Amino acid sequence: AVICLAAGVGVDAHSRWVQRTPGVPMGAPIHVSGPLGDLLSMRGGAKRPPSRSKKGKKKVTKKAPAYYDEDEDEDEDYDEDFDEDEDEDEDEGAAKDAGAGLGANVKVDGMASPGGELVTISSIHYRFWSLERVLQLYMCLIDTVPKSQPRIVALLDEATAVSSATHLAILGAVLTTLDPKNMDFKSTVDYGDWMESMSASQTHIDSLMDLIPSKKFPKERLEAHGRWEKLKFYELFIRDVAVPLALEPPYILEMVQSISQYNLRSAQSLRDLLSRLGKLNRDVIASMRGIPSEFICPITTERMVDPVITADGHTYEREGIEDWFATGQRTSPITNEPLVSTVLRPNTALKAKIANTVECDMSLFMETVILDLMFNLNLEPSVLQDLAMIVAGKSPTATDAAQHRYFEGVLPTESGKIALLRELLRVPQAVQIAAVNFQLANDLGAIVQSSGFLDTTMSVIYASVIEESLEQNFAPEEVNLNALAVSLQGISGSDAMAALQEVAKVRRVLTAFSRLIGGNAGDQALAPEALVAESGRVAPLLMGSGGMVRSVRMFFLKQLERNHGVSFVRSVLQQPPLSESAWVADWRDSSDTGFIRFLGHNALPRLNPLASLPAYAEARAVVSAFLASGNTSELDIGIVALRDGRGPAATKAALVAALFYEVYLLAVLPSQGSSVETQAEALRLWLRTSPTIASFIPTPELHILNLFAGQPVAAAAAAATEEGSQGIESAAQAVRLSPASTPERILQVQWLAHFAAVSLAASSDSPLSFFRTVMVDPGSLAGSWMPTMPEDVLKMAQDVMGGRWYRCPNGHPFYVDLCGRPTQINKCAECGSEIGGTDHNLLSGNQDIGNVGEDLYQKTVLDDQSEPNYCVRSVDEEEKDQFYSVRTLNPTSHRTIQWILHSAMVVGHAAAGAAWDSAAAPVVNSSYADTTVAGGLGAYATLHWHSNWCTLKKLTDRNADDVAVLLHLVLLSCGPSTQVEDDPPAGALQEATAATAALPPADGGGGGGGGGVGSGGGGGGCDAHLRHRA
């Protein structure tokens, strides 16, 4: 309780009470003991008085003063709160000196209780903790900025009280110590200690600054804040620029001297920094300053990314040396001597060294300075104009194009420019707004005029920010779109800002319309009539001609594609309301080749993964030749050559793929009665009657070829025209394509063709051979275990937990680990019966599963009692838990394998019709799967096929295009393949390959199922716990 120093209250450190000490003046120095003494001893090394030793504590009992009315227990607790560990070691070294300085003369000012006198225990607490906070800050500053210790101690010796003025003086001392001009940097190595001090002291400096009242010291506090911000700027410059570029201390000191002349938020400071960075960037470009010469490729003269070593031992950027060889050169670019080989070896050591080297990112540094240190809403108009120039990609200090070149790596990136523009458009004062708008209008106009079009990078940045600002106070449904369309038609570059503000409104309206068309998750779907009405309302914005209208149309389609994928865009363009929109017809009739090509691709998938199949190119050539000539003799010869050259299995797979692309997809195109369709019918007839085909393709497999030639067997064809029980779609309907088929459905059927092809070609040891059996001979699988089916929960628990397993008198299982025999009696968690036993003896009525015996340390081995056959629950039950999984599969793998299984069933039923259902009836486990409600296993599996697809899209969080690519990659990983003939869109397969991490290799074993094993109470064998299945 000795914190009562400033009030002149003397304290007996060993008394339980406090009292007024007559004759002690206010603020008189006294020896510090008690809690404050412990604080100083702990933080700074001040000695404790002898009376605090363990040998004989002096206990004085006095009557409590009238203002302290607490009971005895609370009084004792209070004493214990202040009773410190008396054996606490003292700090050494510099901390002792600091502690001595602080402990020698501690006085407190400005911390009195509300009444001014210490009349309550709470006021004593307040005084103590206030002083402790201040002293802790002082000591932390000494710890983090050791060179400030002499000044801090001297200031405390000189001070008459610990007051706000003391805080201000100590803060100034610390800031002066941290000033780089006072740090005596000898080399770049010295930067590290200074940056560490800056980082460690930041929170303490901020806390100390908060203690200085701005009303009492407005000017001084503002000055200290400005000094501190400049120090943070210096730290940022040294960390992000000086260290990577190895700038020596003289350069740093010159920069500090220059910047210290200006306010950090002034135009002079900004221009000085930009000019300095521009010169540094010029030096980097000219001399590769800061980059070791070994990092520079001799060919490209740029920093290497993928260094490789040639036969003579020199290192180059891979792209550079490969281009060198591609020109026919076989000599060394450095020595011009012939190379014995063009083989390249990765220089992994240099690559790792380059990767671990810090690069100087001046753009990021500039963004941080402007947005975190410089910008506020009170900047001068001249500064705001300079910042607006930076948004436009220009430096205020550059006078010509040659100088602008050196600022390309200095000015903020596009994302940084967007963030800066957001802030510039928030300035509140009229003079500020006028300055920003004036500069933006000048720069936008100049950029648009020089480029010749409005759609520049700067224009996009400005329109995007304006569009964001409209989100709060802009209701698209209340906008007069006819008037907006008129203003859109009149847009030109003469007043770029006004034009872009109109464009932002258009973008906002079209973004809202794209959300309605796409039906975003969580949004209530519009009724078809309302959607058509909204489409008509938006149509004026999309009508007309000219580059601006086309850009607006492309923006709308891009919004759809961004949220739902390309397939969705293709789909909505051929469905109401867009298919009936006047602007779509107008665009189509405008002879815009890009749009016509896009619509032409609308019907067919762009990616052809089936081209990876061996013999695909040959088979497609044979089929194409027949469709052109109709000559069956040539067709027989071509197929025989394929069969004998590539083998029967590869020929079957290639034929399925070729028939799908050359014949089956004809159904997607509008019927024109062409000769190709006539020849396609002749091809189907040949498939059904050709001895050549019958010689190596069994009838059940031939049904699948007929299916993808567009002619399933009669029973399946009939099923394709009729709905299943209760309107459920049959498998034949699911795979049938027409001009009205959505791109997503075409993607699904394309995958089925790929799946059927690789399954027919699979060897007997391939995991795909099982699915081939599902397609062509499902009855042979009766009594077997299928993948993704429910598993035996008890067996699963035994596999995971081990131990000996028993049953309670009512048949509920439990287990004992370690020795395996019970030593305790417990209750069954399910029925309450006694389980376990004592002394390794099992209670009567409990059963030993497997009759392992009474020997210790034995293990129960259970047979897997998983249910055989097809045991998938109804779609409604399966969809209740999309994360349901079995065995060691994760949910995504589980649904992927289940999709593959149901795909095999869909192909089999679509190819053979009711005959397949009859053959598959024995594999249905009716206790799980009631297929009668769907009219048979084929329709039941088709329901799950659709459900699995939707669940996979949710689990992978990808659109239909991406999911299809992922599933194709699964087939490519386990089926025969060769080099892909038709390259996919750039990056599609690479992106999908990265995403395949979500699809681990499937568990090819039998069924699986969900179930959990928990632990209950129980006995244990040899200190083990007896656990019970929850």
pLDDT tens for 588-597 read: 776 565 665 5
pLDDT of residue 934: 72
**pLDDT value of residue 66:** 31
**Rounded to whole angstroms, how far apart are CA atoms 652 and 655?**
5
Q: 428 to each of 9, 374, 434, 500, how far by Cα in Å?
A: 54, 17, 10, 22
Whole-number Å distance between alpha carbons of 485 and 548: 11
Residue 914: Cβ within 10 Å count: 16
Q: Give which of 909, 912, 919 is closest to 939, Cα–Cα.
A: 909
End-to-end CA distance of the chain: 58
Q: Which residues of the chain have pLDDT under 70?
A: 1-119, 285-291, 355-359, 402, 487-494, 519-527, 545-547, 567, 590-606, 669-676, 712-728, 792-794, 798-800, 975-1030
DSSP state of 266: S
Cis preceding-peptide flag for 577 (omega within 30 of 0): yes
| 867: Cβ contacts below 8 Å, ≥ 6 apart | 789, 790, 925, 927, 928, 1007
The answer to whether the beta carbons of residues 771 and 759 sit under 8 Å apart is yes
Q: What is the pLDDT of residue 421?
A: 93
The reported pLDDT for the residue numbered 145 is 92
Q: How many CB atoms lie within 10 A of CB 1004?
A: 10
- Angle, to 10 degrees, between the axis of helix 381-391 and the axis of helix 267-287? 30
**872: nearest Cα among 762, 761, 782, 786:** 786
Q: What are phi and psi of 591, to 5 degrees?
A: 65, 30
Measured distance CA(929)–CA(941) in Å, rounded: 10
Check residue 7 and give its pLDDT.
39
Q: Tell me, what DSSP letter sits at residue 569?
A: H
Note the residue count of the chain. 1030
Is the Cα dihedral 126, 130, 136, 137 positive or negative? positive
SS3 at position 807? strand
Long-range contacts of 283-290 (CB under 8 A, 24+ apart): 284/245, 284/360, 284/409, 285/406, 289/245, 289/246, 290/244, 290/245, 290/246, 290/360
Q: Which residue has the tokens 């003292």?
A: 90
